[in-house]
Amino acid sequence: MRSVLRQRILKPKDVAIFAGEINQVIADLIKRIYFLKSQAEDGETVTNINDLFFKYSMEGVATILFESRLGCLENNVPQATMDYIEALGLMFCTFKTSMYAGAIPRWLRPLIPKPWREFCRSWDGLFKFSQIHVDNKLRDIQCQMDRGERARGGLLTYLFLSQELTREEIYANMTEMLLAGVDTTSFTLSWAVYLLARHPEVQQTVYREIVRNLGERRVPTAADVPKVPLVRALLKETLRLFPVLPGNGRVTQEDLVVGGYLIPRGTQLALCHYATSYEDENFPRAKEFRPERWLRPGNLRRVDNFGSIPFGYGARSCIGRRIAELEIHLLVIQLLQRFEIKISPWTKTVHAKTHGLLMPGEPIHVRFVNRK
């Protein structure tokens, strides 16, 4: 199943075709920022930016997955979208207990019903939402074909026409991708904006690179992203300091010898790359925010540092990586083109906390100051 999806979204050039849709979502997000600023006492502050980036990430990923808009960034969010956000919130709040719910034996469920009930309720909510959107789109495609028109579109159209997945498999994959693609992207964006606001000198350097290579207002395409290596470096450095998934794991498929120790086949290995990301041996002055450490001098040397592997590695690495990168790169460019981002006096030092995912422990409030 995974290989069918991978063919369409594995490489940056595969996802480049979605840049137009993502830029439309960014235009809506920027409109929303202006609206929120207009409501603020100082005309600049947007409180709890994660709320905004959550809506952006959900709208962005849904636009790609369902080839339709959800209305997350509108003033009145449609009820079905609100229900989904509630189901996602429930999944997230009960993550620590519900993640074990699947392992509760059937006979024990009536005795401790709550985790299993909530696990089912949240998954049912998420699944139902994807099902409605997939069905709507597939109905449109079918109508087009019935009229003798050629159906053209994105991911869902391809999955439908290629018939490589059953309808149930399409629902399941869309549900999983939507679930996996929202909080991950929004927390990363929140940290990136927080770090830029806390480090104005870095922000200025990134901004200068954008203006020099792309201009002050030109809406970037996917092909423009390599022209601003500091924007890519910013994302890598943000994920090094705050990897949304701070740990990873694998079960060994064969006997291995690592550092003189025999690890037998079938052993569960846990890797905490949050820890390796902070080792000076891997990253000199590791505690410091220095995006430029990821730049390749003269484009000669590739920076491959396995101390930080925020998207995992290998056959089961993050399938949405290129989508997340495109969403984040295009948004950071356009935010910096328009605004100087300053920390609000209400935001103290924000610590990371884990709740399944590594997330900001306190709300982040920033000031979006219009550039002249």
Check whether 143 is labelled as a binding-site residue: no
Smallest separation, CB 30 to ligand HEM (Å): 20
What's the CA gap between 247 and 244, in Å, rounded?
9
What's the CA gap between 164 and 147, in Å, rounded?
24
**What residue type is 318 in one-letter code?**
C
Cα separations in angstroms, 325 against 106, 328, 341, 370:
41, 5, 20, 25
Smallest separation, CB 143 to ligand HEM (Å): 27
| Bridge partner residues of 357 (DSSP) | 355
Which tokens go with 309?
């592997």
Smallest separation, CB 177 to ligand HEM (Å): 4
What's the CA gap between 232 and 228, in Å, rounded?
7
**Is 359 or 366 the residue whose CB approaches ligand HEM more closely?**
359
**Is 116 or 126 the residue whose CB approaches ligand HEM more closely?**
126
Q: Which residues in this chain contact ligand HEM in the complex, by CB under 6 A?
A: 2, 61, 176-177, 180-181, 184-185, 188, 239, 244-245, 248, 310-313, 316-320, 323-324
**Is 187 or 207 the residue whose CB approaches ligand HEM more closely?**
187
**Is 236 or 367 the residue whose CB approaches ligand HEM more closely?**
236
As a three-state string, the secondary structure of 135-170 is HHHHHHHHHHHHCCCCCCCCHHHHHHHHCCCCHHHH
Smallest separation, CB 182 to ligand HEM (Å): 8
Residues 6 or more apart in contact with residue 322 via CB below 8 angstroms: 9, 10, 11, 12, 14, 15
Smallest separation, CB 325 to ligand HEM (Å): 8
**Is 53 or 116 the residue whose CB approaches ligand HEM more closely?**
53
Residue keyed to tokens 């470096």: 233
Q: Binding site: which residues?
A: 318
Q: Binding site for heme: which residues?
A: 318
